[in-house]
Chains A and B, each alone.
Chain A
Amino acid sequence: MDITMPNFNVLWLQSGGCGGCSMSLLCADTADFHGQLRDAGINLLWHPSLSLESGSELIDLLERAADGRLRVDALCIEGSLLRGPNNTGRFHVLAGTGIPMIDWVRRLAATARQVVAIGSCAAWGGITAGGSNPTDACGLQYDDDRPGGLLGASFRSGSGLPVINVAGCPTHPGWVIDSLMALAAGQFSAADLDPLNRPRFYADQLVHHGCTRNEYYEFKASAEKPSDLGCMMEHMGCKGTQVHADCNTRLWNGEGSCTRGGYACIACTEPGFQEPGHPFHETPKIAGIPIGLPTDMPKAWFVALASLSKSATPKRVKANATADHLQVAPAVRKTRLR
């Protein structure tokens, strides 16, 4: 491997996360994982789960990447950046090197053509920044929703782009692969990023789009306890009407999504999701009205529509909403004109 290689070189490193974004990546919907990357011209220089090189072999590779002898087209960082204690970075010293991971990341980011935050940890700080944030965890270029993070708000990679935030906890394998393929093909520009620098192709959707509970939502027929079939917005904490992601149209592990699995969307693609300010699976309300209203919807409209639709709820929808399997099947009707 050398600098003249035409391939799109990807270097993937982990720090203050759980490795779940890598495990999710391996669930990418393809019969030939390596073949798919190769066809897209993507060359994995090194990945924690998929490379032979260990110990001194890896350190040598990192040295060459950091001083520019090895071209890195995309530096993918998974996990939060641990600045503590007292800005020393000692909560993660890269094994075998004696050097804090945050210093390695700063050095490598300075030479990489693109820097990609894999998952909400690397994007915003994520779950590791929860509670009292004991390790002073942050994202590559954000601290929750505040620009800054490890690299600073003004950071631009070699390509001129800011850090690309492929947020999610875990992030969807399709979001990662589609992003890398677009980058490798030279078909990704600043216009493809949303206001939080997430790729628009998935961030311009809402989790609510395509949710199988949409009919329950329309009639405000709501789930009241875990395993109920109804819409989870009113009582169970679902944020799908506000959260940016295509989870219910680009499914997970075949035919899954959080709401299809019977539990609320907890906004894992959004900055600060780890500290919602209320129990995750309870909807915070004022005077019986959920505080988090659907994106782009004025409150008065929501209240009016909700009370109208509640009064018009079909018996079937109402009965099924609080059961774990169908109680009433849809009536059979003639669908022709006569």
Chain B
Amino acid sequence: MTRLLVGPFNRVEGDLEVTLDIEDGRVSSARVNSPMYRGFEQILQGKRPHDALVYVPRICGICSVSQSVASARALADMGGLSIPPNGQHVTNVILATENMADHLTHFYLFFMPDFTRAVYAGRPWHADAQRRFDPATGEQARQAIAARQRWFTMLGLLAGKWPHTQSIEPGGSTRAVDSAERTRLLARMREFRRFLEQQLFAAPLEQVLSLASADALWDWDARAPLRGDFRMFLAIARDAGLMGLGKGPGRYLSYGAYPQPGAAFVFPRGVWRAESSSLGPLDESGIREDATHAWLADDGGPRHPRDGLTVPAGDKPGAYTWNKAPRLAGEVVETGAIARQLAAGHPLVRDMVERHGGTVFTRVLARLLELARVVPMMEQWMLALEPGEPYCASGALPDEGTGIGLSEAARGSLGHWISVRRGHIENYQIVAPTTWNFSPRDAAGTPGALESALEGAPVLQGETTPVSVQHIVRSFDPCMVCTVH
């Protein structure tokens, strides 16, 4: 057996280190270290509750709106506030703008560049991949940055700026939109749709949405191979073996995304189990964070976030990361676009996961399919705005109370738990998507989702930063600054 220390990873958000044990050219065991701690849960103690809305977006620059939304929901839950329909629609549009940008950034800037590496020089698609996805010169990577920049101008108007808006309030949004502004925003949305339809999918989004099974996708692919970056990904995925690489735990968590006024989520809440192909309810009370292998005090054993504890203990024996290990009813779960779309019954995602499991291929596929699905919805939410009607309910927050804010960031389920005493925050706990996906072992020694997904990954002769490991790591689109916070 040999041991390999891999890091720093880039094209992930934040810093990441992985320790690999290798036997017979394969990873036999992996340990994931989130090597940076900032202590937001400590910083928030003693603050006024509303001030959380200034601190929490700054947990993460890539999903700051997701943090704001989770926090605003926790405060609204505590204060019994409800959002007027306009505020709900605009919040959904702001959150979806960030989530869709994250999917785009992940695909073009974080995930695909690895296929330009020299290790793939012999593959028939390599030169094409370089032309499209080289981080500095790739034609498509450069167009994607430009499309992303234009896309985010929606948040200049809707949220003042991105990242780190303060426009998201427990009662809604601080920025009312008039009809002329809505017209401008719709035009901007359609511009982004055009990028997706011309560059990414080379097809109308409705056509992509109509692909309801793996067979339908492969038929569609065979009709125009390599047209558009999505089909390029399909070709590489088949050739490079991404279908079977990096299999996750087979249990998928979604808190539910994009609540509609007075109605349910667009993408429902629940836990999808691959072995029974069924969606079960989410029991939030079953969440525990286990700090056995974190450089954090673990007094009292695994704790529900409502009374979570965050006290650094840098010399703790057996610890190897700053990240706690969240478990749902004792089990390891995976979260992300794949979980959201499984819970939401996306027929193609369900069919593909049935065939291949949750792997590098299906994770990236689910993300791209979510892009095709959500952008048209955003147009509908904009059209549902009623100019002249309120965007924000106002109301004082109570001096005592607790609140829970659950949301879906691009990378998956994000939860905030707040408790307030005498007008100040007594405890504030955050469990982010990558906290779940990149968790360390728990007290029973069960590895986290990435840790087990890495087992079996091939390591080529002489590799110090195995390319298969990079694909698996990046297929989760990890956000390390959120993970530990």
- Are B61 and A21 closer than 8 Å at their CB atoms? yes
> Would you call A15 an interface residue if the criterion is a C-beta within 8 Å of the partner chain's C-beta atoms?
yes
- Indicate whether A227 sits within 8 Å of B46 (C-beta atoms), given known contacts A21-B61, A253-B155: no
- Interface centre among A18, A88, A90, A91, by most chain B C-beta atoms within 10 angstroms, is A18
Chain A residues near B51 (CB-CB < 8 A): 279-280
- Are B42 and A51 closer than 8 Å at their CB atoms? no
- Are B156 and A252 closer than 8 Å at their CB atoms? yes
For B387, give its contact among A30, A58, A135, A325 (CB under 8 Å). A325
> Would you call A319 an interface residue if the criterion is a C-beta within 8 Å of the partner chain's C-beta atoms?
no
- Are A281 and B50 closer than 8 Å at their CB atoms? yes
**A contacts with B: majority SS:** loop
Q: A63 CA to B173 CA in the complex, in Å? A: 48
- Are A26 and B136 closer than 8 Å at their CB atoms? no
For A85, give its contact among B50, B155, B312 (CB under 8 Å). B312
> Would you call A291 an interface residue if the criterion is a C-beta within 8 Å of the partner chain's C-beta atoms?
no
Which chain A residues numbered 252 to 281 have a C-beta less than 8 Å away from chain B?
A: 252-264, 266, 268, 274, 279-281
Which chain A residues numbered 82 to 114 have a C-beta less than 8 Å away from chain B?
A: 82, 85, 88, 90-97, 101
For B136, give its contact among A50, A97, A128, A169 (CB under 8 Å). A50
> Would you call B335 an interface residue if the criterion is a C-beta within 8 Å of the partner chain's C-beta atoms?
no
* Count of residues in B whose CB is under 8 Å from the partner chain: 87
> Would you call A190 an interface residue if the criterion is a C-beta within 8 Å of the partner chain's C-beta atoms?
no
Task: Digitize B36-65: 1 where CB-to-A-CB distance is under 8 Å, 0 elsewhere.
Answer: 111100111111101100110011111010
**B443 CB to nearest chain A CB (Å):** 24
For A20, give its contact among B61, B391, B394 (CB under 8 Å). B61
For A30, give its contact among B149, B158, B163, B167 (CB under 8 Å). B149
Q: A44 CA to B145 CA in the complex, in Å? A: 16
> Would you call A2 an interface residue if the criterion is a C-beta within 8 Å of the partner chain's C-beta atoms?
no
> Would you call B178 an interface residue if the criterion is a C-beta within 8 Å of the partner chain's C-beta atoms?
yes
Q: A325 CA to B116 CA in the complex, in Å? A: 51
- Are A20 and B164 closer than 8 Å at their CB atoms? yes
> Would you call A56 an interface residue if the criterion is a C-beta within 8 Å of the partner chain's C-beta atoms?
yes
User: Who on chain A is nearest to B395 by CB?
Assistant: A225
> Would you call A34 an interface residue if the criterion is a C-beta within 8 Å of the partner chain's C-beta atoms?
yes
> Would you call B399 an interface residue if the criterion is a C-beta within 8 Å of the partner chain's C-beta atoms?
no
- Are B61 and A15 closer than 8 Å at their CB atoms? no
- Are A260 and B149 closer than 8 Å at their CB atoms? no
For B10, give its contact among A33, A54, A169 (CB under 8 Å). A54
> Would you call A337 an interface residue if the criterion is a C-beta within 8 Å of the partner chain's C-beta atoms?
no
- Are B160 and A14 closer than 8 Å at their CB atoms? no
Task: Digitize A285-301: 1 where CB-to-B-CB distance is under 8 Å, 0 elsewhere.
Answer: 00000000000000000
- Are A226 and B174 closer than 8 Å at their CB atoms? yes
**A104 CB to nearest chain B CB (Å):** 10
- Are B142 and A44 closer than 8 Å at their CB atoms? no
- Are A256 and B464 closer than 8 Å at their CB atoms? no
- Indicate whether A266 sits within 8 Å of B54 (C-beta atoms), given known contacts A50-B135, A94-B8: yes
For A132, give its contact among B37, B42, B117, B165 (CB under 8 Å). B42
- Indicate whether A96 sits within 8 Å of B6 (C-beta atoms), given known contacts A16-B36, A256-B160: yes
- Interface centre among B110, B156, B165, by most chain A C-beta atoms within 10 angstroms, is B156
> Would you call B182 an interface residue if the criterion is a C-beta within 8 Å of the partner chain's C-beta atoms?
no
- Are A92 and B61 closer than 8 Å at their CB atoms? no
- Are A257 and B62 closer than 8 Å at their CB atoms? no
For B164, give its contact among A97, A169, A226 (CB under 8 Å). A169
- Are B62 and A324 closer than 8 Å at their CB atoms? no
- Are B36 and A15 closer than 8 Å at their CB atoms? yes
- Are A324 and B7 closer than 8 Å at their CB atoms? no
Chain A residues near B159 (CB-CB < 8 A): 256, 261
Q: A23 CA to B410 CA in the complex, in Å? A: 15
> Would you call B465 an interface residue if the criterion is a C-beta within 8 Å of the partner chain's C-beta atoms?
yes
- Are A325 and B176 closer than 8 Å at their CB atoms? yes
Which chain B residues numbered 121 to 151 have a C-beta less than 8 Å away from chain A?
A: 134-137, 142, 145-146, 148-149
**A140 CB to nearest chain B CB (Å):** 17
- Are A227 and B391 closer than 8 Å at their CB atoms? yes
For B8, give its contact among A55, A88, A260, A324 (CB under 8 Å). A55
- Are B146 and A32 closer than 8 Å at their CB atoms? yes
- Are A263 and B13 closer than 8 Å at their CB atoms? no
Chain A residues near B116 (CB-CB < 8 A): 52
Q: A128 CA to B14 CA in the complex, in Å? A: 14
- Are B165 and A14 closer than 8 Å at their CB atoms? no
- Interface centre among B35, B135, B146, B481, by most chain A C-beta atoms within 10 angstroms, is B35
Q: A10 CA to B111 CA in the complex, in Å? A: 23
For A54, give its contact among B11, B54, B64, B312 (CB under 8 Å). B11
> Would you call A39 an interface residue if the criterion is a C-beta within 8 Å of the partner chain's C-beta atoms?
no
- Are A254 and B157 closer than 8 Å at their CB atoms? yes
> Would you call A66 an interface residue if the criterion is a C-beta within 8 Å of the partner chain's C-beta atoms?
no
**A124 CB to nearest chain B CB (Å):** 14
Q: A14 CA to B162 CA in the complex, in Å? A: 19
- Are B156 and A253 closer than 8 Å at their CB atoms? yes
Chain B residues near A263 (CB-CB < 8 A): 160, 165-167, 174
Chain B residues near A257 (CB-CB < 8 A): 160-161
- Are B15 and A130 closer than 8 Å at their CB atoms? no
**A49 CB to nearest chain B CB (Å):** 6
User: Who on chain B is nearest to A78 by CB?
Assistant: B61
- Are A131 and B155 closer than 8 Å at their CB atoms? no
Task: Digitize B75-109: 1 where CB-to-A-CB distance is under 8 Å, 0 elsewhere.
Answer: 00000000000000000000000000000010001
A-B contact pairs, 23 of them (CB 8 A): A18-B59, A19-B14, A23-B61, A24-B163, A26-B105, A27-B148, A34-B142, A50-B109, A51-B11, A52-B116, A54-B10, A82-B38, A131-B44, A132-B43, A170-B164, A227-B176, A252-B161, A255-B156, A256-B157, A257-B161, A258-B166, A261-B160, A266-B54
Q: Which A positions have Cβ atoms within 8 angstroms of B?
A: 14-24, 26-35, 44, 46, 48-59, 80, 82, 85, 88, 90-97, 101, 127-128, 130-135, 137, 169-170, 225-227, 251-264, 266, 268, 274, 279-281, 324-325
Q: Which B positions have Cβ atoms within 8 angstroms of A?
A: 5-11, 13-17, 33, 35-39, 42-48, 50-51, 54-55, 58-62, 64, 105, 109-110, 113-114, 116-117, 134-137, 142, 145-146, 148-149, 152-167, 169, 171-176, 178, 312, 314, 387-388, 390-392, 394, 464-465, 470, 481
A95-B15, A256-B160, A264-B166 given. 19 additional CB < 8 A pairs? Answer: A18-B58, A20-B58, A34-B136, A55-B8, A85-B314, A131-B44, A134-B39, A137-B38, A170-B61, A227-B169, A227-B394, A252-B160, A254-B153, A256-B157, A261-B159, A261-B160, A262-B176, A263-B174, A281-B166
